[in-house]
Structures are given as structure tokens and as C-alpha cells.
Amino acid sequence: MINQSKDSLIDLKKEQLLNFKKDSIANDSIKPKEVIDGIITHNAEDYTIQNAKNKTVTLYNKAQVTYTDIDLKAGIIVLDYKNNTVYAKGIKDSLGYHQKPVFKQGAQESEQDSILFNFKTKKALIYGVKTVQDGIITYAEKTKRVNDSTIYMRKMRFTTSKKKRPDYYIQTSKAKLVPGKKIIIGASHLVLADVPTPLVLPFAYFPLTDKRTSGFIIPSWGENNSQGFFMQNGGYYFALSDYFDLTVLGDLYTNGSWGLQVESSYYVRYKFSGNFNFQFQNKIQGIRGLSNYNKRSSFNINWSHNQDSKASPNSKFSAAVNLGSSRFFLESQNQANNARAIDNSLNSSISYYKKFVGTPFNMSLTLQHGQNTNTEKITMTLPSLQVNSEPLYPFTGKDGAKNNAIQKMGFNYNMQGRYEINTTDDEFFTPKMFKTAKSGVQHSLSTSTSLKAFKYFTLSPNASYKDVWYFDKIHKRYDPKKINASKNLGAVVNDTISGFNRYHNYNFGASLSTNIYGTFNFKKGRLKAIRHTIRPSISYGYTPNLAKNYDLQVQQSSDPTDLLTYSPFEGGIYGKPANGTSNAIGISVNNVLEAKVAPKDPDSDADDQKIMLLNNLDFSTRYDITKDSIRWSDVSVNASTRLFKDKLALNTNMSLDPYQIDKNGKQIDKFNANLFRVKQIGLTANYSLSSKDFSKNKEGEKNPNKNNGNGAQDTPDLFGQTSQNANDFSNTSKNKNKDVAETVLYHHKIPWTLNLIYTMNYGNDGLKSGININTLRFSGNIELSPKWGVGFNSGYDIKNNGFSYTNLNFSRDLDSWRLNFGWTPFGPRTSYNFFIGVKSAVLSDLKWDKNKPPDRALF
């Protein structure tokens, strides 16, 4: 407990009032003004005593004095106009002192036992002062205020705990406070729960500012088996301006490995905001000179940019970049990268969208990047340009009506161009990555309309035209001196010839659809009806064979008559002309099941409840008229539903083959005896439940997720997150009793959540069949008390009989402190991280951070 001096409320003697810190300027040749710089106003509730001889005014009970930007309130205030001073203290009764002085100047406010203030010099002598500066609460037995910007304190204690008996404080004999800027203290020590600790500081500097300031970032330390002892995430923060900052962090390991991280965030109000993060690591494994020595460098770039919706209504720029070495997160020793090590892909997108006002056109320009961290293959689109038009209806009536098929006829235009690069990690950022680059432009024009047919059907004709431009083509030639795949002389060689080339294609078709409704009514029970909606559709599409207009032939062996037909556009990013005529009929059927249920109370005015029993059950297939055999395609089945008040989501898909297969697994033109052969089945079940699902909502009962009114709030999802739950530190025993009662009864409603995801995939290619994927993922959190939380995330691979990446997170809210323990108990990424520290950003370096990163070898 922070105790005040017993004599901190003593009455100052008249000599102290009159002779308090006389300024040396009084003896200078140039004398200061003899008048103060403003009007002093005062009032009191009980009485005001004026002493004309001594030029004093005494105010009693709820006294207040105002002078320029200074406001002083206290039980007793004595104004001395002769010496330009004011003295204030509290009123003493049988319960002690009350109405203690509260001194406010501008935005600064303090509470003290007594204060003597000089209006002219702005100096003050204060006993038992309590101030709050940017979240830091300071107590001092004796304080001297030299001017507006400098305050000296003796026997000072400061903390960020708002409790009457603070959880901790730092105690020092001398301190200097510059309001709004800094606190400088001498020798000090940490006190926890009124118990002094051996943690001593010879001196300390604490910045106090509402603005961001530059400063050092203290690293965390530890050791692992492969890199030895280390320091991680230490560096310097640069507060460059109000709009952006820069953080430079480093990692050092005793075996010579090191890492560098550069972070920056920027924000311009009503315009844009973003974050940039660059990480580089130079990792050494083994001992130099031995066979196990290995060294590898890797990097990662992460950038996000968002444009404010108010910045420009007709254009938008955004970015989400995540690219780098495929094995960066897998091999990273930095504990902060653990959660991302299980990701097997990196994706990036930078886009710009522009709407041309007054026209139906809009444009989007996109740079994209996709990377598989397992295969280390990278695909980049630099860039992709698209120009689209809104649907155009040139035949509408004067009033814009669309009453017939001609008036409903709409046209759409789309143009897209793309430059695509396919490379690997080893060739990334080298000239080799551009050798296999592809580019092209595609123009598309489509039209469609709709009309009623046979009263109940909707007929929708459609047609489209496509024109593709390439800037190179493939030319094949026979080289009799080149060794072929059979290791014999003579092979076909591909040459890429630059130049403008194009091809076109078109197709047309129509679809016929309708809706069929069936309702089953029930006379008894709450179930009143079930409605079955069937949406059958039949479509026809025709695409002519235009490939013959572009195909070329090349000799493929020593026999000049042995010719190979090929397309010069093969491998193009927009494909090649369709080979052969497509003349196909498509059939699909969509099913939806809904139920109508009456309320539990038959006398209730509530409406009947509509429940979705089956969101969709779709069947689709295709029949190609032009083929001479195997005309039917596989039957595709898709279904989804949500059960138990949407707690369980089920999704399944299936592929059925109507044809038999031979001993090599190839289709033959014979139907299956059992109608269909199951080729593939996929199933996903997602089930979410929580303690709320088992609680009975009584009238007037509060939602446990909402603030309970005394500052205690439920903690959000704990996995991977730091608990921000903090008590409203009360100074009254009444609120304290409420907290105790809340804790005692907490076990009756321990909040918890659980998420289960089951995934299964079955495959059958005719030669072998079985389950390829069979996993169960589970995650959730449990709040054991208002201050304790446990989060977990794990899974089990049923097919391979093993647990997947598992992480446990324990979080404890310690009022002004927070504690977090993250643990990966098994697997190749076994690690832990323990943290305990002060919540306040000002004292964020008052912490203990211990971690044991996973030991990872280079691959």
C-alpha cells in the first residue's frame, strides 16, 4: 500500500507562506511586473472571510478558485494577495480528511493532501500528491513544482494499477517529472503486492507523450539445440511522423545465424492505410568444416494496403502481398512465425479498379502471385488487365421496359490481357524466370435473352464470340540429328517465333427451365407442411470445329509420310482453338426441401417458422451428340444442409461413372451393370457449439457475453490471441464485493466454445480405391474463471493414425498485468512461450518473456 507521510496535511506556518521560494529576479535591476496576469475568481459554500489588513481571503467548504487556466477545488482555501499565493487543504472530521485539494491546469489534473501555489511564479509546494500522466499513476510525499514544465518529487511511487492497493509499483527516493514528456528517476526497486523485490534499477527514463516516440525495443532471449543461445526481436522503433513509422528488429544466435526484420505502418485519414513487413534470415546448421554443415538464406515480404471508401468513389487501390522463400516459415527459428509454419501456400494480389463515369465500362488491373511451399513452384501474373461493360440493352422501349425477347436482349463485352510467369524458388528474381513467360489478350462478346415458352417454361437463348491474340507461336520442325525419348536419332523440336497471331471461336446455345412445386400438408402436430421445389433444366450448346483452320503438320520420324498435327497456339494462356465440334445437351436437376413449423404455444401470435431441411441436392450430366462412343459424361451430385439450428453444416459431393472400365482403368463403351460406378465422394461436416447452447435464457437474464456492468467482460477467442480482459479497478468495497460474488458463482456458467471439422474423401479409379483423406480438426476455448482462459487447436488424421499440429494457449488476466503461456506439446514443432508483463504500453518493457523455439533442420 502506498502510505502518505503522517504530517502531510499539516498547516503551513505564516513564514512558510510568505517566504516560500523567493525568486532571485526580485533583486535584479529589471524588476518584474507587480500585478498578476489575470482575474482571480473564488467562491465557497459555507463562508468567506476577508482580512483586509493581511490581504487574505479564507474560503470554507467546497471552495473553488479560478485563475486563467488554473482551477483549484478544496475544503479550505486561503488566498494571500500580498504574496500572490494560495494555500489549500482538506477538511478534517472524525473519519479523517475529505474534500482534498484538486488542482487542474489545462489538461493536467492532480489530487493532493495540501498545496501552496504562487500565482506569480507558478511555483508550488505540494504534499501527498497523486497525478495521472498517460496512464501512469504517481504518488509522492513531497513535490516541488518549479514551473509548468518541471516537477521534482521525493519518496515517489508510480504504477499503472488503478486499485487502491496497487498490484505493483516502482518506488524511488528522487524523481523528476516533465508533464506530457518524461519521468526520470534515480535508484529504484520494484514492489509486488506490497512485497519489495530484489529487482533494482540504478536509474530509469520513462517517456510520457500522446504521440509516438522513437526508442529501443528490448529483445527476448533463450536457447535451442541447433542454433545455441539467442536474442530475438530486439531493435529500434522510429517514430518518423504522424503518418508512418519504422521498426527494425534483429535476431542473433551464437552459432552465427542471424535474422533481420523491417516493419512499417502508415495511415492517412480518409485516404489509405497499410502495413509493410520484410523478414530475412541467414540460418546455419551444423559445424563449419564437417559434413553436416549447411547454410541457407531465405526471406518473406508481407504488405497490406487499404484505401478508405471516402477517398475516391470511382476507383480503388488495394494490396495483399505475401511472397518469399517457400521454406521461410518452416525453417524460421523466430517464435513469432510458428503459427504460419503449417501453411502450404503463399498468395499475393495488388489491384486497381476504375469506373469510367458516364460510360458502361470499368477497368481492373491486377498483379497476382501464387506459390506452393511444398513443390516450390511459383506462378505470377504481371499484370492482368480486364475491361468490362455493364449489360447493354439497345432494343428496350422508350421507357426502358423489357416486355419481349427482343427488348430483353442484352450484350456484354469483356477484354482481358495477361502476362504470366511460371518459375521456381531457385530461379526466382533471376533472368531464367522470364524464359517461359506467356502473354495474350482475349476479347469476348456475348448476348442472351429470355422468353416464356409453353406457359410454364423459360427459354434462354445465348451466343458468344471470342477473339484471342498472342504475340508468339509454336513452330515444330523435325531434326534428324536430335536424340528422341527412345534414345534414337530424329526428334521434333519446338521453336518459339515472335509476332502477332490470333484465332477466333464462337458458340451458341439455349436452355429451358422451369420450377415444380410439391407441398405435403400435415393435419396433426406442429409440423404443418413440407414443400419440395424441383428446378429441372435442359441446355444445348454448339461449338464448331475451327481448329482445322489453324492446325499445322510436321514430320515426326524418318518417314516423311509420318505426320503430326499440332496447333501453333498450344500452351497459350487462353488455350487453343477447340479441336472437334462440340454438340452437347446438358441436363441438371436442383432440389430444395423446406418445412413450416407452428410455434410451441398454439395460442401465441407468433408466425409459423420456416425451416430449411435441404439447401440443395443437385444432379447434372452431359450428352455429346458428336461423339461416336462414350457420349455421357459423369453424373455430378452435390448436396448441402444445415441442422440443429444451423450448428451442423453438411456438404457432400459425388462423381458417378455410367461406363465400365477395362483392365487398364480406361472407359469402354458399355454401361455399368449396376447403373453407376462411384468414382469420388467428398464429405465435410462442420459442427460448432458453445455453453450458450445449453443455458436456459430466463427473462431478465443478461447475455454472458456482454459487459456485466462492473467492468468484467468475457474474453474473446483465446487461441492465438492475448487476453485483453481487464477489471474496472474499483476503489470502493462495494464493487469489490460484486467481483467476489461474480467469481463465486462463475462455475455455474463457465463459457466455452468448440468447433469440429470432419473431412473425408474417397477415390476409385477402377484399379484401386480407398479413402484418401480422413481427418478431424477441433479447436475452441474455455474460460475457467473471469480471469483464466484456455485455448486449443488440434486435429487427428484418422487415415494415418496421428495428431496434426497441436497448440495450447493459457491466458491469465492479472489486472494490470497479463500472463500468457503457449505450448506445442509434440510433433516436429515442439515449442513453448511464456510471457508475463505489464499491460500498459508505457511500461511494456517491464516483462519476462521466455520461449523455447522448435529445433528445425535445413532441408
d(CA 477, CA 554): 6
Say whether pLDDT at 62 is over 50.
yes
Cell numbers standing for residue 137: 499513476
Letter string b/e over residues 126-137, b meaning 16 or more CB atoms within 10 A of that residue's CB: bbbbbbebbebb
What are 293-332's pLDDT values in tens digits? Answer: 888 888 889 999 999 988 888 899 999 998 888 777 777 7
How far CA 802 is from CA of 578, 759, 799, in Å, comes to 47, 15, 8
- What is the DSSP-derived secondary structure letter of residue 593? E
| Buried/exposed code over 801-814 (b: 16+ C-beta within 10 A; e: otherwise) | eeeebbbbbbbbbb
- For residue 854, what pLDDT band results from cuts at 50, 70 and 90? low
| Position 37 confidence tier, pLDDT thresholds 50, 70, 90 | low
Write out pLDDT tens, residues 530-551. 999 999 999 999 998 888 888 8
Higher pLDDT pick, 691 / 30: 691
In this model, does residue 6 exceed pLDDT 90?
Answer: no
Section 657-674 average pLDDT: 85
Is 166 a residue whose pLDDT tops 80?
A: yes
Q: Compute the distance between CA of residue 853 and CA of residue 812 in angstroms, rounded to an integer.
A: 22
| Mean pLDDT, residues 618-641 taken together | 92
Q: Cell 498545496, residue?
A: 115
CB 302 within 8 A of CB 276: yes
Percentage of the residues of the chain whose pLDDT score is greater than 90:
30
pLDDT at position 608: 83
Among 35-39, 182-186, 703-707, the least confident range: 703-707
Amino acid letter, residue 17? L
Weakest-pLDDT range from 99-108, 129-138, 576-585: 129-138
Q: How far apart are CA 723 and CA 740, in angstroms?
A: 20
Residue 411 has pLDDT above 60, yes or no: yes
pTM check: above 0.75: no
- CA 837 to centroid of chain Cα atoms: 24
Q: Which of 837, 838, 832 is nearest to 850 (CA)?
A: 832
pLDDT bucket at 343, cuts 50 / 70 / 90: low
| 605, pLDDT greater than 90 | no
pLDDT at 511 over 90: yes
pLDDT for 834 equals 86
Least confident span in 15-24, 102-111, 153-162, 402-411: 15-24
What pLDDT shows up at residue 483?
81
Q: Which stretch of DSSP H or E encloses residue 789?
A: strand 788-797
Instruction: Give the separation between CA 229 and CA 583, rounded to whole angstroms.
Output: 70
Task: Say if residues 252 and 283 touch (Cβ distance below 8 Å).
Answer: no
Residue predicted with more confidence, 843 or 304: 304
* pLDDT score for 859: 40
pLDDT of residue 8: 38
Domain boundaries, the chain: 14-207, 211-343, 347-399+410-436, 703-852
Least confident of 319-328, 340-349, 508-517: 340-349
Question: CB burial class (10 A; 0-12, 13-18, 19+) of residue 793?
Answer: buried
One-letter amino acid of 363: M
Mean pLDDT of 278-295: 83
Q: Which residues pair with 207 in a beta bridge?
A: 182
Question: What percent of the chain stands above pLDDT 70?
Answer: 87
CB neighbours (10 Å) of residue 160?
24
77-98 per-position pLDDT tens digit: 999 988 889 999 999 888 888 8
pLDDT bracket for residue 164 (50, 70, 90) = confident
Least confident of 75-84, 418-427, 485-494: 485-494
Q: What is the pLDDT of residues 429-449, one digit of tens each?
A: 788 888 888 899 999 999 999
Q: What mean pLDDT is reported for the chain?
A: 82
Q: Is the pLDDT of residue 794 over 60?
A: yes
- pLDDT band at 337; cut points 50, 70, 90: low
pLDDT at 339: 58
pLDDT value at position 419?
A: 92
Question: 157: closest CA among 205, 189, 109, 120?
Answer: 189
| Distance, CA of 842 to CA of 213 (rounded, Å) | 11
SS (H, E, C) 452-476: EECCCEEEEEEEEEEEEEEEEEEEE
**8 A C-beta contact, residue 297 and residue 280:** yes
How many other CB atoms are found less than 10 A from the CB of residue 484? 13
- Which residues, including other chains, have CB under 8 Å from residue 350's CB and lie 6 or more apart? 318, 319, 320, 321, 366, 367, 368
Report, in angstroms and rounded to the nearest whole number, the Rg of the chain calculated over CA atoms: 39
Residue 736 has pLDDT above 50, yes or no: no
CATH number of 14-207: 2.60.450.10
**740-775 residue pLDDT tens:** 544 555 555 788 999 999 999 999 887 888 898 999
Q: What is the pLDDT of residue 853?
A: 65
